[in-house]
Amino acid sequence: MTGALLVGTALIGLAAALAGAAAPVRFRIGLSTALTIGACGFGLIVGADVLRSGHPAEVHTSALMPLSGFSLALDRFGALFVVITAVVGICAMIFRVGYTGHGLSSRTASCILPLFVTTLLLIPAASNVTTFLFLWELMAVTSLFLVLTDHAHRSEVQVAGQWYAVMTQFGAAALILGLVLLATRSGSQSFAVIAVKSSHLPVWVRSTAFALALVGFGSKAGAVPLHVWLPRAHPEAPGPVSALMSAAMVNLGVYGIVRVGMGLLGGGPTWWWLLVMAVGALSAMFGSLHSATSKDLKRLLAYSTTDNVGLMLLGVGASGLFASTGHRTLALVALVAALLHVVFHAVFKGSLFLSASSVQQATGSTDLDGLGGLLNRMPVSGTVFLVGGLAIAALPPFCGFVSEWLLLQSMLHGLPSSDVTIAVAMPIGVGVLALTGGLTAFTFAKAIGIGLLGLPRTERAEQATEVRPSMWTGAGVLATLCLVFGVAPFLVLPAVVDAAGNVTRLHLTEPLNHGWQIGLPGVRGMLAPGLLALGLVICGALVCLARRLVERSPVRLAEAWGCGRELQTARMEYTATSFGEPLTRVFEDVLNPSHDIDVSHIAESRYYTEAAVIHTSLDDAFERRVYRPADRGLQRWGAIARRIPNGSVHRYLAFGLVALIIVLVVLA
Amino acid sequence: MAAISLLQVILVVLGGPLLLGLMRKVRCRMEGRIGPPIRQPLLDLRKLARRERTRPEHASWVFPLAPVVLVASSLVIVIIAPLLATDPAFGWSADLFAVVFLLLLGSVFLALGGLDTGTAFGGMGASRAMTIGALAEPALLVAILALSVPARSSNLPAIITRSLAHPAWLATPQRVLALVAFVIVIIAEAGRLPVDNPTTHLELTMIHEAMILEYAGPDLALVKLGESMRLVVLFTLLANLFVPWGIATAPGPSHLAIALVATAGKVALLGAALAAFEVTVAKLRLFRVPELMAGAFVLAILAVLSALVVP
């Protein structure tokens, strides 16, 4: 029954793609969007059913792919990701109806977007290596096309597309090597067989496969140092696509690391997980630092995705570390925290990206230095962004708070430990978590305060109006979920516990949530998010009431204090650049800020300035130190290699002869 | 127990302004001035409450909401945190991490209120306050970790009960290191010298004051009240975490009376000490503050690591 639903998901997705390609212009968007929502709906049903019952949904057909067959089996762990993708997909598709920017309504894009969503839905169900790699590549290629939708109009899109193509194919290559190594060594393509046989494989095979998978999935997840495509591709992709990439596709990187490391390989030595934790810590710090100093809204959100993926990997690494040292309960709790963060990140990052796209549509820009005053002009989209920002900053009563709390708890209870690795790794993990927490609060105080509050800084921002209802509905649903999950995490927690238990084959002696509260087994004290929310609402209402009672006259609108200046203009306002300046100076060594000032003088006298322009930029240290030199090296090598083929047939014949001799010598 | 929580709320709401008055008095006396009476901040609040509320023309609904969130988040902490007794209402939910995130909620909203004014000062104050807040966060959470590890819980009553049961534990190096880190962070969070000068009159040197420049009347009263409540809460938590004696561990009015006297004494002592310290130091340059925070972070990490050596 559920298997049929899985097939249905795929078929409706294909139908949506066909409709996007072939339907007349008038119905194209409506039809393909409706069908894509249908595919997501089927995915949601099958995912929810598997999560509830625990019976995997299986489909196997040998007709579609030779040798291996096309094989899907959705277990609880995969179902969690299918449900996340389905919810984000539905919201992004509702949003898409009103969204007109970036050429997303073209025939190509209407055809490819449903395909992309469908592959996202099916990947967690793939149950053999070929199926998985096929779907994975399909996802990579379709997402590349979607990033490139607007390439004809802006040259940055092409550059972003190149970066994305290289990184995603590099990751795919690593992935193919890793999975094929596992498949050949264990003698079967099937994930179920690999999971059984992998424990008998030699250590080097297991470790190589894991390292390759970490590289492959890490590049898709946007983990440092493979994150460079994120801050380029996200700002250039159309709104719903960047939301889908950040809230659904990136998750699959984490899915893959857990599936391979804990599912197929069944855990591993301590150093694997220390490596994962190190990558996570680096990603979290680097991402949060860059998002704190970015001044482009979507670039900021992209770096914040790297930051959040870092937190998830920190949880995954801690879980593996606990498992490898025998702390079974804590291993499960840490993985639950990481997966809970995956769920919540999808919810708040989806709402943030969608509302940022609304801002982009309304003002034509995502440059924070040109926004401002939007909460008054776009009340719903502004509020959605505000809620998403508070949730990602882990503030109660929104959802980010719950997952970060659980992550902190799992690390706290790893101590005191007899194991030195844990004893050293956990305090550092908490330090990283705390630093990124503080920086995230800073980032979103900036994004909300500069982007939505105060005075508009440009004409376009001044004249912005609320976007169409379908757009704010799509984003609003996700923002509502931020609040709902933040107040009542028990709605998702048991499902996440089941999913984590399913992949690690561990289980808890008692549940994590006791009604509305969350507490760790055998630990005194609990977190009561619902109670805190209720307290905040009641206390807030009482304070408002008290203010109303003592108030003697209505609020007077007044001019703000400008040191005696009469007129308040936006030029007096702090910008995102100036807001981030103290932090940029504190972390100068990492961020390497550069600025140059062009001053032009009046022709008559050099003592008077006509205009002054300042250019500031922040480099990505990895781009500067790793990718640029690598790129230069490749170019140089290419230049040398180009000299060899000069068009002479004689030379080519000589090459052939030399090659033949070498082969013969080697074989002999 | 609801009665304890109610008592805590009343005491903190009244005691916060009185603490500020006491600190001001100590400071004045040390500088050879007489100074205003200790109850002056309470009178100021009454005066402000009667004044007119103003709002900058371009501000949104976030501006009037910010003071409410600041006070409401402080109130929630006051209700659940063990300030006078180890079993206030919902004491089982008084998680130290939750307290930190509630404090952060107030700070973020205050920064948003500052940015909502659309003035240079609002943005300047918000930027500086959030920078310092972001850098204080790691030290604070790791210091909490150092306290939570031996108690095997980050629940506040659990930590305090454990300290009372094992007094020797209070003199271990990890506690001393965590204490120093805590004190530095509290000074930064509360915006006191040498991180921020709450009495400055020059906009360019302001951090916190620049952020709240546009608030007037009842709104300003709420901001002032919220700040003083946060100061009392932080002092009381500091006192109870590191010198827990006097807190009421059993129900009954006599225990509460002792706890009341002891806590008030401890907090007053801390306030007087901080005021005396403030007389002797000058405000740090803004870009020296990160060094202070990094120092606190290192101390907190050392506290955790020494917790493993000296169990």
One-character DSSP codes across A268-318: --HHHHHHHHHHHHHHHHHHHHHHHH--BHHHHHHHHHHHHHHHHHHHHHH
- Cβ B227 vs Cβ B183: under 8 Å: no
For residue A598, the cross-strand partners are A613
* A-chain residues near B137 (CB < 8 A): 434-435, 437-438, 441
The verdict on a CB contact (< 8 Å) between B287 and A376 is: no
pLDDT at B311 over 60: no
Question: What is the residue-averaged pLDDT of chain B?
Answer: 88
Nearest CA in chain B to A558: B56
Tokens of A392: 């990602």
CA distance A304 to A310: 10
Which of A574, A583, A590 to mutate against chain B (most B CBs within 10 Å)? A574
Partner residue opposite A430 with nearest CB, options B52, B58, B145? B145
The verdict on a CB contact (< 8 Å) between A539 and B71 is: yes
Torsion over CA of A121, A122, A126 and A129, rounded to 10 degrees? -100
Give me the pLDDT at residue A102, please. Answer: 62
The verdict on a CB contact (< 8 Å) between A453 and B116 is: yes
**A398 part of contact set with chain B, CB < 8 Å:** no
Of A20, A430, A377, nearest to B60 by C-alpha is A377
Q: Which domain holds residue B232?
A: 2-309
Residue B46 vs residues A206, A544, B39: alpha-carbon distances, Å: 71, 16, 11
* Helix, strand, or coil (residue A181): helix
DSSP labels, B36-65 = --TTHHHHHHHHHHHS--EEETT--THHHH
Of B74, B79, B127, nearest to B100 by C-alpha is B74
CA angle B201, B204, B205 (to 5 degrees): 65
Question: Which position has the token pair 């990184």?
Answer: A167
- Return phi, psi of residue A650, to 5°: -60, -45
CA distance A358 to A366: 10
The verdict on a CB contact (< 8 Å) between A556 and B54 is: yes
Give me the pLDDT at residue A416, please. Answer: 65
Which of A436, A579, A589 to mutate against chain B (most B CBs within 10 Å)? A579
pLDDT tens per residue, range B207-265: 888 888 889 999 999 999 999 999 999 999 999 988 888 888 888 888 889 999 999 99
pLDDT tens per residue, range B33-62: 998 999 999 999 999 998 889 898 888 999
Tokens of A638: 């290419």
CA distance A338 to A320: 12
Of A360, A222, A225, nearest to A303 by C-alpha is A222
H or E segment to which residue A617 belongs: strand A609-618
Question: What is the residue-averaged pLDDT of chain A?
Answer: 89
- What mean pLDDT is predicted for residues A326-337? 90
For residue A128, the cross-strand partners are A190
CA distance A547 to A118: 53
Residue B99 to chain A, least CA–CA distance (Å): 10
Q: How many residues does chain B have?
A: 311
* pTM for the full predicted model: 0.94
Partner residue opposite B118 with nearest CB, options A525, A560, A583? A560
pLDDT at A75 over 70: yes
pLDDT tens per residue, range B62-117: 999 999 999 999 999 999 999 988 888 888 888 888 999 999 999 999 999 999 99
* Helix, strand, or coil (residue A135): helix
Check: complex ipTM more than 0.90: yes
The verdict on a CB contact (< 8 Å) between B122 and A552 is: no
pLDDT at A317 over 60: yes
CA distance A111 to B95: 50
pLDDT tens per residue, range A183-210: 999 888 899 999 999 888 999 999 999 9
DSSP labels, B61-108 = THHHHHHHHHHHHHHHHHHHS-SSBS--TTGGG-BHHHHHHHHHHHHH
Nearest CA in chain A to B308: A416
The verdict on a CB contact (< 8 Å) between A442 and B158 is: no
More confident residue, A491 or B151: A491
**A553 part of contact set with chain B, CB < 8 Å:** yes
- Cβ B9 vs Cβ B75: under 8 Å: yes
Task: For residue A423, name the pLDDT band (cuts at 50, 70, 90).
Answer: confident
The number of distinct structural domains making up chain B is: 1
Partner residue opposite B131 with nearest CB, options A424, A442, A452? A442
B141-157 as b/e, with b when 16 or more CB fall inside 10 Å? bbbbbbbbbbbbbbbbb
Of B218, B226, B221, nearest to B42 by C-alpha is B221
* B-chain residues near A568 (CB < 8 A): 56-58, 118-119
- Total beta-carbon pairs less than 8 A apart between chain A and chain B: 287
The verdict on a CB contact (< 8 Å) between A405 and B290 is: no
Residue B169 to chain A, least CA–CA distance (Å): 15
DSSP labels, A15-31 = HHHHHHHHS-HHHHHHH
Give me the pLDDT at residue A398, please. Answer: 93
Give me the pLDDT at residue A206, please. Answer: 93
Residue B248 vs residues A205, B155, B256: alpha-carbon distances, Å: 61, 17, 6
- Cβ A323 vs Cβ A505: under 8 Å: no
**How many contiguous H segments (helices) and E segments (strands) does chain B have?**
11, 1
Query: Which amino acid is located at A580 in the chain?
Result: G
* A-chain residues near B117 (CB < 8 A): 454, 560
Tokens of A67: 């040798």
**A585 part of contact set with chain B, CB < 8 Å:** yes
How many Å separate Cα A70 from the centre of its chain? 28
